[in-house]
Structure 1
């Protein structure tokens, strides 16, 4: 298991380098720059700024400088937010983003698994139809639209929950954002769980367990749930990365102090350091989550062994 994990980590290094290279050149080749503002800067000030951030170098040299600093753990300074480095901004905003994403992940995973099991057990009955309808709404409606609708209904009209902003220690400010993030995730998990559970319930060993007189709950607990979770687990890694990246838009809509506001502002202002630093952070999170999912396969399916 350890040797397999080490091989996966080593194989991920070229992928990470390719992703960094693509993001770097796409961002640098985009029109505009970090110092293109409404007020034109004097030529000598512009020259000094470009020299300070190595923008006066050729594009390949800028890339080599960035990769060299990245290998030493330096994500560089922010070109727009004066006095802050990219690592400082990530350290400030990412804990909130991670807390919100993990809350949505736990809630959505639990609801999705239970809903999928209920739909599978009641296949082609009214609970199944109701859950399928709710699932389709969660999958079809984008999070920025559902966020605006929930803000309007529960925050403005009914005034049950805050429509936006953040107060330290106030969990009510997280209800709407977590709901917006969790709904599509729970919908996808419930679809996967429903299809997998229906397939498992039709297998020979489940029919044998029922023929021996085992109750339905015991059959589900001992024989059906664990193998049915395999497709769900394969989605959990990409699903959590989806929640982390999807939280950028949700944070912007609800005005939350996560890393999303830094990323959106940096993308609009061509702040190369923050955009690249955030992209690299999410890339390594996705690789780590996929590795963790592979490790869980051996526990869920005894036939899977890593040699």
Structure 2
């Protein structure tokens, strides 16, 4: 298993390099620059800024300088936040973004698995139809629209929860963001769990267990849940990465102190360092999560053997 994990890490290096290269050149090809504004800077100041951030060099020289810095763990200075490096800004916002994404991940996974099991056990009955209705709402309505609706209802009209901002240690400020993040992922997990559980409940070994007189709870606990989780586990890596990247928009909508605050403003200001640094950071998280999911899949499915 360790050798397999090592090979997966080595195989991820070319993918990471391709992603960094694509993001670097796409960002540079976008119109505008970090120092373009309504009021043009004097030529001497512009030349000094371009020299300081290596923008006076050719595009390929800039690329190799950036990749060399990334290999050393240096994402360069920020072009829009004075006296801050990209690594410092990411270190400030990352703990909150990770906390928000991980809590939403636990909520979405738990609710999705439970809802999928209830829907599968009660196939074509009213609990099944109710779960499908909620799932469709979570999949159809975009995050930003659902966030605005909840802000209007729960925050403005009913005054149950704070609408924006964050006070350290305040749980009410996190309820709406976590709900918005977890709802679509819980809907997808519920769909996967429902389909997988229905398939497992129709297998021969489950019917044999029922014929031997085992109760419905024992059949689910001993024979159905573990194989039914295989498609869900395969999805958990992309789900968590989707929650972490999706939190960028949610953090901006709710004015939360995560990476999203820096990423959105940096994208609008053409701050190449923060945009690329955030992209590289989340790419590394996604690759790590996919590796963990592969290892968990081998644990759950005894037929899988990595050699």
Q: Which category of TM-score, normalised to the shorter sequence, fits these structures?
A: over 0.9
**C-alpha RMSD over aligned residues:** 0.5
Instruction: Indicate the residue corresponding to 1:100 in structure 2.
Output: 100
Deviations 1:123-152 (A, max 9, x none): 000000000000000001000000000000
Instruction: Indicate the residue corresponding to 2:243 in structure 1.
Output: 243
Task: Report how many residues are paired.
Answer: 307
What is the SS of the residue equivalent to 2:116? helix
Instruction: Indicate the residue corresponding to 2:206 in structure 1.
Output: 206
Q: Map residues 222-261 of structure 1 onto 2, 5 A cutoff.
A: 222-261=222-261
Equivalent-residue separation in structure 2 for 1:274 and 1:81 (angstroms): 10
What is the SS of the residue equivalent to 1:51? helix
Deviation at 1:40, TM superposition (A): 1.4
Deviations 1:156-188 (A, max 9, x none): 000000011111111100000000000001000
Unaligned runs of 5+ in 1: none
Unaligned runs of 5+ in 2: none
Equivalent-residue separation in structure 1 for 2:30 and 2:60 (angstroms): 16
Deviations 1:62-86 (A, max 9, x none): 1011111111111000011100000
Deviations 1:226-281 (A, max 9, x none): 00000000000000000001001100001111100100000000000000000000
Equivalent-residue separation in structure 2 for 1:26 and 1:84 (angstroms): 24
Instruction: Indicate the residue corresponding to 2:271 in structure 1.
Output: 271
Matched, 1:197 2:197: yes
Instruction: Indicate the residue corresponding to 1:31 in structure 2.
Output: 31
Instruction: Indicate the residue corresponding to 1:125 in structure 2.
Output: 125
Matched, 1:164 2:164: yes
Q: Map residues 1-307 of structure 1 onto 2, 5 A cutoff.
A: 1-307=1-307
What is the SS of the residue equivalent to 1:75? coil
TM-score (norm. length: structure 2): 0.99
Equivalent-residue separation in structure 1 for 2:101 and 2:285 (angstroms): 13
Equivalent-residue separation in structure 2 for 1:297 and 1:68 (angstroms): 35
Deviation at 1:154, TM superposition (A): 0.1
Equivalent-residue separation in structure 2 for 1:247 and 1:297 (angstroms): 26
Equivalent-residue separation in structure 2 for 1:259 and 1:45 (angstroms): 30
What is the SS of the residue equivalent to 1:304? coil
Equivalent-residue separation in structure 2 for 1:38 and 1:150 (angstroms): 37
Equivalent-residue separation in structure 1 for 2:252 and 2:268 (angstroms): 13
Q: Which runs of 4+ in 1 moved over 2 A?
A: none
Deviations 1:20-79 (A, max 9, x none): 000000001110000012221100000000000000001011101111111111100001
What is the SS of the residue equivalent to 2:147? helix
